[in-house]
Amino acid sequence: MLMERILKRENLLTAIKRVERNKGSAGVDGLGTQNLRAHIVEHWEDLRSALLSGTYEPQPVLRVEIPKPDGGVRLLGIPTVVDRFIQQAIAQSLTGIYDPTFSEHSYGFRQGRSAHDAV
C-alpha cells in the first residue's frame, strides 16, 4: 500500500530533516520548524491514524502579501510545518516511484534539474 510506504520511518526521517533544513515561516497554527519534531512525537499516533484512515485534513494556508518592486503585491501561501512534513514525505515516495519513468529529456520540477538546464 502506498500510504504504508509513505509512513516508513526512513522516509519520515528524511522528510522531517528536509523541512527543518528549509526552515520557513510558521503557518496558521504558529508552529515553527524548531518545534516540529516534538509536536510530531507528541501527536504521532493520531496523525498516523488519520493518514491511514484517509481522514487527515490539512490546515488552512496562511496568506501573506509580499510587496513587488513595481508597487503591486504577490500572494504567498504558507502551509503549516506539519502539512509541509506530510507533503514532503508524500513527494519523496511518489518521486521514487514515478521519476524513473520520466524521459531523460524531462527537466521541469525534477530533483537536480530545472527548466533552465533544458535550454
Integer CA distances (angstroms), 27 to 24, 82, 94, in order: 9, 9, 25
Looking at the predicted structure, is the pLDDT value of residue 61 above 80?
yes
Residue 105 has pLDDT above 80, yes or no: no
Q: Which residues fall within 8 angstroms of residue 79, CB to CB, at 6 or more apart?
A: 27, 58, 59, 61, 62, 87
List the beta strands (DSSP E) in 57-109.
62-67, 73-78
Give the mean model confidence (pLDDT) for residues 7-36. 96
Comparing 95 with 84, the larger pLDDT belongs to 84
The reported pLDDT for the residue numbered 97 is 81
What are the two backbone dihedrals, phi and then psi, of residue 33, each rounded to the nearest 5 degrees?
-60, -30
Which triple of cell numbers denotes residue 57? 485534513
Handedness of CA 101, 4, 83, 112 (dihedral sign): negative
Q: Can you tell me the mean pLDDT for 93-116?
A: 72
